[in-house]
Structure 1
Amino acid sequence: MKSAMIAGMTGLLLNTLTSLAWAAGSPPPPATSHIDLAGHAVPVVAGGLYDRYRSNPPLAVIAAEAPDVDLSWFKGLHKEKVNMGFESYSPNFYYRNSRVTAVFTADLERLRALIPAEVQSQVQPLQIWPGRGLVALTAYAYHYCDNDSYNEIALSIVTNKPGSSNLGPVSLIGQSLSGDFWGYVLKLPVNTELARVRGVVGYNLPKWLAPIDYQETDKSVIFTISDSATGQPDLTLETQKLEELSREAELVTNSFTNLNHQGELSYGYAVSRQLSHASSSDEQSVRLTLGTGGLSDYVRSLKLGKLMKYEYVPQFQSALYAPKPLAALLGSE
């Protein structure tokens, strides 16, 4: 009865929003249906990829729906059924996406205080110079993926790889050369309930639902996240479109260490195939505007400093793997 009431109220709200959108001359939002995901009634795009295939669409379907997408890389990857608090398939595929990343220095003691003691037994913030660590602020636009489409903003501490020494700049150079980056995720707002529930239940990541606006101009990419409580703009990341793009496909792995729902050390990772990409250390290429919302207050507490690197990746594909016990990784090395 409770689920039916929630669904009815959601439907009424969607109908109201649809009427307002038509009145304003904007296209109506896509129709939704509700699915049960780990006991949560989650709205999804009716007839969308997730509604139909639950993270396991045949590549033939993707080829028919998005004939401009190169699927050659995905054909070499194998999905397997997993239980991650709900039944799913790993890896989750992201077919057409874009991102920007800004890496800043931050207060080292503050970063250390934000990582649980159990996690710090294996990983610590990389010290780039005395008193300063690194954080990465990444904004993603997943235009077409197994979860339909959504936007996401990740704030992470750059750490050493579990089981390896923390040698500060030497470790950072090693990760850069190998394309194997490690971090501890601090914040991860998303703009769909499907992405939120999957992230919290399946990956134990700090996700919450918030409006995230993605815009492009002829010269810049702009992500704006609004405060969930007030609806007012909270944080804006505006970055330049770099001109000298590499078109050589490059594989990069981004991994995270955290605690699972049983309090055990675990890790997860995504492998990305970057199809066009460029980087810069010019501070003029990134403009971070902090507002009065909770995320901005949190970022202020990190005492950000110098921009170390900006990455502009207008085209990439990715495969996100289900988390595993950290012991499995350490035992294999």
Structure 2
Amino acid sequence: MNIQKTAAVSGLILSSVGAPSWAENLTEPKQVLIHIGGHDVPVVAGGLYDRFRSNPPLSVVASEAPDVDLSWFKGIKKEKVDIGFESYSPNFYYKNRKITAVFTANLDRLRELMPEKILQEVQPLQIWPGRGVVALTAYTYDYCDNDSYSEISLSIVTNKPGKSSFGPLTLMSQASSGDFWGYVLKLPVNTELARVRGVVGYNLPKWRTSIELKETDKSFSFTVTDSDSGEIDFIFEGKKLSDVSHAAELVKSSFTNIDQDGQLTFGYAISKQLTHASSTSSDAVNLKLSDGSFSTYLKSLKLGKMMKYEYVPEFQSALYAPKALKDLPADM
């Protein structure tokens, strides 16, 4: 992994990703205002969310994205839920891509960043004395129930609530089972729809900023803008690995949180990774930091060795609405 400092570029304008379908659209889509959880939110006029509010018929999705295999979603039932506004769970993500870098980080700092109420239930995994684990993931959702958007997730890897933590053994167990638990620290997004739904409905630390994806024949590169200064905050670049597996695998990512009433909650997403590869080579990732707010936050974690890089150029996902932690099934 290469962590570099990049000079801020004044006046650089990065446009938000937004399109009425999974296909690229060279013109700015028209928008309409809708009301969600006390917020007036601009959405793509005629987009999936404008028409169906997170519950589009799969027949419509099939007609608009005929090259997307929807067979996995046919076996998942949606339910109407109240998450501060009326919605449906799970939320479907039909065509997506992501890169993830897993780092060691200062354990004391990670504990400082977690609310005491959360720490009573879960702890950052200690893989060796003084070091925990964080995952930095960049997502682009090309076609989903919420139209299209990008986001960057920074999460602390934790044990499962109610289960003891055995440090590296727990981490290996989560990796082998494809069942991860974490606490989300940062989650910038590049559409207002994603921000409001995430904050109001899922109690996640989302804010809106520009996230620009650049793709070459060798890499994916996500440029994130500091929402306060308008300058480049950081660039997260990951290589396109050559040894890609086309054997689909299911991965579950769960998180603990505190809702707006101060109650402990949990949420989770199940992803079907259609194509994927990984590497432990430090050359696979290039993280360029600046003096921006997110970069400064990352520096405070004292990131160490990159433990693993995951390249997932094609996946599908189902995100479930949060529930009270006391209702967490024992077998989940």
- Normalised by the length of structure 1, the TM-score is 0.91
Compared with structure 1, are the counterparts of its residues 81 and 300 closer, same or farther at alpha carbon in structure 2 (3 Å cutoff)?
same
Q: Any conservation in 2 of the 1:153–1:190 contact (CA below 8 Å)?
A: yes
Q: Distance in 2 between matches of 1:153 and 1:202?
A: 18
Q: Distance in 2 between matches of 1:160 and 1:296?
A: 26
> Which residue identity is paired with 2:210?
P
For residue 159 of structure 1, what is the aligned residue in structure 2? 158
Q: Distance in 2 between matches of 1:286 and 1:50?
A: 34
- Report sequence identity in percent: 65
1:89-124 CA distances to partner (integer Å, 9 max, x unpaired)?
Answer: 000000000000000000000001111111011100
1:161-192 CA distances to partner (integer Å, 9 max, x unpaired)?
Answer: 11111100000011011110000000000000
Q: Distance in 2 between matches of 1:325 and 1:180?
A: 19
For residue 311 of structure 2, what is the aligned residue in structure 1? 312
> Which residue identity is paired with 1:63?
A
Residues 1-40 of structure 1: pairs in structure 2 closer than 5 A: 27-40=26-39
For residue 74 of structure 2, what is the aligned residue in structure 1? 75
Q: Distance in 2 between matches of 1:27 and 1:99?
A: 23
Unaligned regions of 5+ residues in structure 1, if any? 1-25
Compared with structure 1, are the counterparts of its residues 92 and 130 closer, same or farther at alpha carbon in structure 2 (3 Å cutoff)?
same
1:244-274 CA distances to partner (integer Å, 9 max, x unpaired)?
Answer: 0010010000010011111111000000000
1:207-264 CA distances to partner (integer Å, 9 max, x unpaired)?
Answer: 0000000111010100010011111110110110000001001000001001111111
For residue 177 of structure 2, what is the aligned residue in structure 1? 178
Q: Residue 28 of structure 1: CA displacement?
A: 2.9
For residue 116 of structure 1, what is the aligned residue in structure 2? 115
Q: Any conservation in 2 of the 1:237–1:286 contact (CA below 8 Å)?
A: yes
For residue 203 of structure 2, what is the aligned residue in structure 1? 204
Q: Distance in 2 between matches of 1:48 and 1:185?
A: 29
For residue 283 of structure 1, what is the aligned residue in structure 2? 282
For residue 224 of structure 2, what is the aligned residue in structure 1? 225
Count of residue correspondences? 309
**SS at structure 1 position matched to 2:228:** coil
Residues 89-168 of structure 1: pairs in structure 2 closer than 5 A: 89-168=88-167
> Which residue identity is paired with 1:46?
A
Q: Distance in 1 between matches of 2:157 and 2:291?
A: 26
Compared with structure 1, are the counterparts of its residues 329 and 216 closer, same or farther at alpha carbon in structure 2 (3 Å cutoff)?
same
Q: Any conservation in 2 of the 1:204–1:259 contact (CA below 8 Å)?
A: yes
> Which residue identity is paired with 1:117?
E
For residue 328 of structure 1, what is the aligned residue in structure 2? 327
- Normalised by the length of structure 2, the TM-score is 0.92
Q: Any conservation in 2 of the 1:80–1:90 contact (CA below 8 Å)?
A: yes
**SS at structure 2 position matched to 1:207:** coil
Q: Distance in 2 between matches of 1:116 and 1:130?
A: 22
> Which residue identity is paired with 1:263?
G
Q: Residue 27 of structure 1: CA displacement?
A: 3.7
**SS at structure 2 position matched to 1:235:** strand
Q: Residue 285 of structure 1: CA displacement?
A: 0.3
Instruction: Tell me if 1:43 matches 2:37.
Output: no
Q: Any conservation in 2 of the 1:162–1:330 contact (CA below 8 Å)?
A: no
**SS at structure 1 position matched to 2:84:** coil
**SS at structure 2 position matched to 1:176:** helix
For residue 241 of structure 2, what is the aligned residue in structure 1? 242
Dislocated runs of 4+, deviation >2 Å: 330-333
> Which residue identity is paired with 2:190?
N
> Which residue identity is paired with 2:273?
Q
Unaligned regions of 5+ residues in structure 2, if any? 1-24
**SS at structure 2 position matched to 1:33:** strand
**SS at structure 1 position matched to 2:328:** helix
> Which residue identity is paired with 1:70?
D
**SS at structure 1 position matched to 2:41:** strand
**SS at structure 2 position matched to 1:316:** strand
Q: Residue 330 of structure 1: CA displacement?
A: 5.4
> Which residue identity is paired with 1:290?
L
Q: Any conservation in 2 of the 1:213–1:224 contact (CA below 8 Å)?
A: yes
For residue 7 of structure 2, what is the aligned residue in structure 1? none
> Which residue identity is paired with 2:175?
S
> Which residue identity is paired with 2:213?
Y
Q: Distance in 2 between matches of 1:284 and 1:258?
A: 34
Q: Distance in 1 between matches of 2:241 and 2:166?
A: 31
> Which residue identity is paired with 2:41?
V
Q: Distance in 2 between matches of 1:83 and 1:197?
A: 14
Q: Distance in 1 between matches of 2:329 and 2:264?
A: 11
> Which residue identity is paired with 1:78?
K
Q: Residue 331 of structure 1: CA displacement?
A: 5.8
Q: Any conservation in 2 of the 1:163–1:330 contact (CA below 8 Å)?
A: no
For residue 273 of structure 1, what is the aligned residue in structure 2? 272
> Which residue identity is paired with 1:254?
S
Q: Distance in 2 between matches of 1:240 and 1:177?
A: 23
Higher helix fraction: Structure 1 or Structure 2? 1
